[in-house]
A and B are shown apart, each in its own frame.
Chain A
Amino acid sequence: MDFTLSKEQQMAQKMYREFAENEVKPLAKMVDAEEYFPKETVAKMGKLGMMGIYFPQEVGGSGGDVLSYAMAVEEMSRVCGTTGVVLSAHTSLCAAPIFENGTPDQKAKYLPKLCSGEWLGAFGLTEPGAGTDAQGQQTRAKEVGDNWVLNGSKIFITNAGFADVFIIIAVTDEVLDKRGRKQKLCSAFIVERTDPGFKVGKPEDKMGIRGSSTCELIMEDCTIPKDRLLGVRGKGFQLAMATLDGGRIGIAAQALGIAEGALDETVAYVKERKQFGRAIAAFQNTQFELAEMKARVDAAKYLVYAAAMKKQQAMNGAKVRYSVEAAEAKLIASRTASDVTRRCVQLFGGYGYTRDYPIERMMRDAKITEIYEGTSEVQMMVISGAMLK
């Protein structure tokens, strides 16, 4: 597989690095400490076309590619895990399903504003009693006249406190399967923050990505027009799973970025920090730790980039699926991020445990990548499921 970056991708990577260094890194400590949602950064990213990187310019996107998008999440996460996930959830979980499943009218209404960053997007699948388990879904949508009326609640919704547009999964139909058991069928809907009966609940107090807004969504007779149904009625769960395949590439890129950022900080620190009269970089334990971490991070990087390139093939019209590649990328990158950040804290010693250095924040931020958009265990179900088919 050829991982040579195109001229445009190299240029984009350079721009992401400059932007991350100048605009994102200086805020990262405050974003974490004050649980501050970086809305000014989001506005800047929108202006530069970073909120719709891989969508065509005809629908308001930037005309880039999926790998360039993954690199954007990677580079932002390298300095601030929160900023990385804001970008990832918005693009992969809201703009992408509208681009991939929307009617021409839905695309025309939502994509230009999502891609420009004027509107922020979010995605609601998880409920108190159900995540990846479709049959556990409790939120229901009923047809009433010319409207859909939604009732239920969603939890752990990334970007919720600041999002304008939400993709909501709800049960619309029940059918009997071959053995006569009731089977719930879900559908996807586009819900706007201002729709009647829609409320955003209290934000979660989290271990990491503390600036990211994670809230409950409450729908009480939430009434939306008929034309907000996204995709095919009854196929909402499949839409959600396909959306998460893309989302996992974003989260894998976030995990990769966090791990690379931890290595950046650690390489600088071990050259400065002196013990027994020498920089700790001179000790072989430090060198071997760094070497192994770097090799693992690069391995994760190739998986993430390969998954992004596979999604690009699908975007270009090839009949390929990338569920397994995305699951592998997320499984390995998130595990690498947790492992690498923990080992980096160890190299920092006591200072690494303090909030004077960014490394403990990176360790806290890394953990979530093993949990959201499908836990590592779910990724292993996806991978082994394809093997044992």
Chain B
Amino acid sequence: MTTPRWWSQPFPPTGAIASEGIRNQLGRPPVDPLTVFVRETAQNSWDARLPGVETAYRLELTTVAPTHRPTWERLLTPPAGAQEHLGVGRAVRTPNLRLLSVVDRGTKGLGGPTRADQLAVGRRDWISFVLNVGEKRDTEMGGGTYGYGKAVLYRLSRVGTILVYTRTPEDHSGRLSSRLIGIALGSSFDSSARVDTDSRPFTGRHWWGDVREDHVEPVVGSEADDVARALGLTPFGPDESGTTLVVIDPDLEEFETPDEAAQHLAETIAWHLWPIMLPERGAERLVPSVVASGRSFPVPDPARLYPLRMFVNAYRRLPTDSATTLESGNPRKRLGRFALEKAVVVPMAPDAASEAASYAGVEGDPHHVCLMRSPELVVRYYEGPTTSSVHSVYAGVFRADDELDSVYARSEPPTHDNWVHEQLTGHERTFVKVTFTRLREQLAVFRAPVQQAVSTTSRATLGAASNYLGGLVAAAFAGVAGDGTARATASRGAGSGTTTTASPGNADGQGSSTRSASNASGRARVTVLSEPHIEESDGGIVLVARYGVAAEGPVRLDARLSVVTWEGREDDPPAGAARPRVLHWLVGRTRIAGDVCTVEGPAEVDLLVVPVPDTATEMDIVATPVMDLSDAGAA
């Protein structure tokens, strides 16, 4: 039985890339390493998919179980000479060592030769993933071009170490066979400080496996399965092929608990992989899942999650007539298809956007275009102009034409999250540049100010505007806006301003916001103590206003309710249309039904009104002092 060991790569006479170079190949530090991690690994899994079966993509956040820990320590502790350059030695001695695994099934695994100096006729997944760096990928409709993005795996691990456990059909027999190897990227170093070996420089790349003379072969076949089982890695079913990548001691940065991190991963998956998750793709789709400490975190359904669902709607429109084809004029060329989804929404609270959405570039309500090319992986969310109203949002999708796929691919940085025309020359440069020009043209309409809206009332003073608009928002939620007109009435009564203070001592009636009865028999002053507002009562929506009755003695209150229309107070409702009605009055704790109620002043009275959905309601009360006590009985 082969016992896997660590082997450190010395610099060959011709020189080699040092591990620092590999880790820096992402170009810039990623905004969120977990986002890059999801994008990169999912892309690898997707490129390796087998035809006719759904591709399972599972992220697992686990810790090394106590029963497996001795095995980890025994097998993965580096030899003394490399100890200080390989952090994994320290990691495996700590209890509760955390692991982040990417498990893909329904994929073909990493196949091909296991030595980079062997000429590969068929597949060379192993070579390009495990050994080489910067090799061109030529997967048909593949997501990536160069495998630089895998550097994020090493960056994510605090000790720069991953394990690769794969099962793939053998080249000649086609039988499924397992391979297991460990890869670590430390810093380049030399062994001059040690006396027990020859001094020589090392690149900082290490492999863990079946160590040979000058390279490392993976542990293969049943031995690989045995070692994997001893380490507690997710095993393969009898006919399963695929790959499990294990990031040792992942740096979860700001996420304090694995649960939070898992939640974030699940949402990140939705934001970046939704085009290949959609059910209409049939078996040609990615089925993602996230598991943390044995608990499963469902990946949100992109067709339901706001605002992502708007992008999904736009995407589904791409083949229809409502989408447009963007073209470049000189030279004339189809660039791709563009579709747009618009909506009127209640704006999101300022901090309601999830971190996954923010990292994807959509912070809050969308005004973005999702860019993608033939593999239909999200390249980025391109930010367009914001609309002139917070209620009005849009989401677009641009999918590059298949013919230009390679052009757009070449314009992408290693993380595949942008199209940079500066990287190209000639016509290709023009195509990418013009794409953004066309997108800006398409979105220019949103920059224009909206048409002058027709004013629906001129009674509210300017100071009331904010209150008035607040009522609209309430209407959007509950289907009623009960306060607009009552307030207008209030401001009319008070002469200026919108807040009416109820002061019983205010003798001249200026504080009265409700029409007082002005009959000769006397005046009963009524003030609005609390403006009409929406409340829930027994599962229904009601409008509630509180009035103060200042007069002494019994006062008869008449509720005058009406729907406020564009034309003002509605006198004649449409056929069969409902009208607002009094639910009841509330005097102290006593409920009084009916449109009329008699109270003993001075008193405070609540009026509860059942509004009509999708209308504005005007509430007025008319107060009449009751001279003859026999009238009081009428209520």
* A is bound by B: no
> Chain B interface (Cβ within 8 Å of chain A)?
none
> Chain A interface (Cβ within 8 Å of chain B)?
none
